[in-house]
């Protein structure tokens, strides 16, 4: 985890972020008439897109659009080559041993649905899967559905009072019946950064496998599956400067080989008869139907842009900016920043006493400030914190000190009104 930037270093990094901002049309363009300038602090929900990603997608449709893997004409071969090059780039970005270990999906949610359906097909009564209290619904509901269908048990690792994963409690849950532990690397509600590598050692020592939700971590920090010890890993393109509707599931080749396909149709087969079918090779046996080619190319462009920025620089800036924003907000009477994890990424939840989070979000929106309000697809964690709803501020490389100032001024104005928004 990068050290927090302070003082002059924060100002130097802000100049860098303002320069980055120029690459994002939605942020660099003047506000429409009658609307306040956009202060976008909802990057944990989705990042904005740099011009290079937009241009890549437009160019694909203008110059290369064709279905892949099925044609021998020029456009089909070009589109196929472009898709597989994008796969190789995404695999290299996370340090996979081979592009065969990377399955394209619609995003983290579909990745975990695939894993829960396919891996879960081999589980039954007596088997256990361990999750944590902080999981996004994408890494909770698919396992609940699979457990209900297959009869295996779900167990949940708790958090301590600060919002960190209780590693002792997690270790105590591990046993001979544990087949898989599936955890987020960064909580999308608290911003807690989990120590995945030591957890992986613990899980593997118990004879189980580890799946990692990297939806919130990969856009902001170095993620390498080998260094983490991840057996499976999922992420979404749209949080990492790429388009919506594309994501990836990584799995070690020998594990993916052993799993059954989870959807049927074209592409995921090598041969079909009226009596049955033979599945395709990796990774295509998990990719039924026409793939999201433009999404994969947009993802490739987004990850390349992220790499060019420098993940160490992105992590240092987003974590520092979030810490600075939280510090400024705490000074406002009635504001509560929830959780105090040992390591927090570039996001945090907060509330204003006497004001419903949705009302405050709407108040801020009228001032052009976009923050998330609700339970953030983490109902069990939100409920455990006693939060019917909270606001979440989240940052990316294009976020600036001016964005923080606008947020602080907006919340301070709301607080001064005594809840009458």
pLDDT tens digits for 373-398? Answer: 999 999 999 999 999 999 999 999 99
> How do strand 153-157 and strand 128-132 relate by DSSP bridges?
parallel
Q: Is 248 annotated in the active site?
A: no
**Which residues have CB under 8 Å from 142's CB, separation 6+?**
109, 112, 113, 115, 116, 117
**Which residues have CB under 8 Å from 169's CB, separation 6+?**
157, 158
CA angle 375, 376, 380 (to 5 degrees): 55
The packing angle between helices 7-21 and 401-416, to 10°, is 100
Question: Strand pairing partners for 129?
Answer: 154, 180
The pLDDT value given to residue 116: 98
DSSP string, 233-271: EEEESTTTTS-TT-EEEEE-HHHHHHSPPSS-SSSSEEE
Is 1's pLDDT higher than 80?
A: no
- Torsion angle, CA of 188/402/31/49, rounded to 10 degrees? -40
Residue from 383, 371, 353 nearest 134 by CA = 383
Residue from 291, 271, 354 nearest 86 by CA = 291
Task: Please state, as a whole number, how many other Cβ atoms lie within 10 Å of the Cβ of residue 295.
Answer: 24
Question: What CATH number does domain 7-35+310-416 carry, 3.90.1150.10, 1.10.10.10, 3.30.450.20, 3.20.20.140?
Answer: 3.90.1150.10
Fold of 54-307: 3.40.640
Residue from 179, 176, 157 nearest 166 by CA = 157
> How do strand 335-337 and strand 347-352 relate by DSSP bridges?
antiparallel
Range list for CATH 3.90.1150.10 in the chain: 7-35+310-416
Range list for CATH 3.40.640.10 in the chain: 54-307
Q: How confident is the model at residue 8 (pLDDT cuts 50, 70, 90)?
A: confident
Question: Strand pairing partners for 351?
Answer: 336
How far apart, in whole angstroms, are the C-alpha atoms of residue 204 and residue 19? 44
Cα atoms found within 13 Å of the Cα of residue 308, Cβ hemisphere only: 11
What digits encode the pLDDT tens for the residues 261-313?
Answer: 999 999 999 999 999 999 999 999 999 999 999 999 999 999 999 999 999 99
Instruction: Write down the catalytic residue from 377, 391, 404, 408.
Output: 377
Lowest mean pLDDT among 20-34, 95-109, 314-328: 20-34
Tokens of residue 268, six digits: 């995921």
Q: How confident is the model at residue 18 (pLDDT cuts 50, 70, 90)?
A: very high
The pLDDT value given to residue 32: 86
Residue appearing with tokens 């089909």: 76
Is 82's pLDDT higher than 90?
A: yes
What's this model's pTM, rounded to 2 decimal places? 0.97
């Amino acid at each position: 985890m990068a050290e927090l930037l302070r003082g002059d270093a924060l100002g130097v990094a802000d100049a860098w972020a303002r320069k980055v901002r120029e690459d994002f049309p939605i942020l660099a363009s003047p506000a429409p008439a009658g609307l306040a300038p956009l202060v976008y602090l909802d990057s944990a929900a989705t990042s904005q897109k740099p011009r290079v990603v937009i241009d890549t997608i437009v160019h694909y449709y203008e110059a290369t659009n064709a279905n892949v893997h099925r044609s021998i004409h020029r456009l089909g071969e070009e589109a196929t080559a472009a898709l597989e090059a994008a796969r190789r780039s995404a695999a290299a970005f996370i340090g996979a041993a081979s592009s065969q270990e990377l399955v394209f999906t619609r995003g983290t949610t579909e990745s975990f649905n695939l894993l829960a359906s396919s891996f879960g097909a081999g589980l039954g009564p007596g088997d256990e899967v361990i999750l944590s209290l902080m999981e996004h619904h994408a890494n909770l509901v698919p396992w609940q559905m699979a457990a209900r269908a297959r009869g295996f048990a779900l167990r949940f690792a708790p958090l301590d009072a600060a919002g960190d994963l209780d590693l002792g409690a997690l270790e105590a849950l591990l046993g001979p019946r544990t087949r898989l532990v599936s955890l987020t690397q960064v909580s999308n509600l608290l911003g807690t950064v989990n120590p995945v590598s030591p957890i992986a050692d613990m899980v593997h020592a118990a004879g189980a496998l580890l799946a990692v939700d990297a939806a919130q971590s990969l856009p902001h920090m170095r993620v390498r599956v080998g260094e983490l010890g991840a057996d499976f890993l999922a992420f979404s393109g749209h949080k990492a400067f790429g388009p919506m509707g594309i994501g990836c599931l990584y799995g070690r080749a020998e594990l993916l080989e052993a799993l059954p396909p989870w959807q049927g149709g074209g592409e995921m087969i090598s041969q079909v008869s009226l009596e049955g079918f033979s599945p395709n090779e990796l990774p295509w046996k998990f990719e039924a139907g026409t793939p999201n080619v433009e999404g994969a190319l947009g993802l490739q462009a987004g990850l390349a842009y992220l790499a060019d920025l420098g993940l160490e620089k992105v992590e240092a800036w987003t974590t520092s900016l979030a810490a600075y924003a939280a510090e400024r907000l705490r000074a406002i009477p009635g504001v509560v920043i929830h959780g105090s994890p040992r390591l927090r990424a570039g996001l945090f939840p907060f509330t204003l006493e006497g004001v419903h989070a949705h009302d405050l979000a709407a108040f801020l929106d009228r001032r052009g400030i976009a923050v998330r309000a609700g339970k953030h697809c983490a109902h069990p964690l939100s409920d455990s914190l006693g939060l019917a709803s909270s606001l979440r501020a989240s940052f990316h490389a294009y976020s600036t000190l001016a964005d923080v100032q606008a947020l602080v001024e907006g919340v301070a104005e709301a607080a001064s009104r005594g809840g009458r928004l």
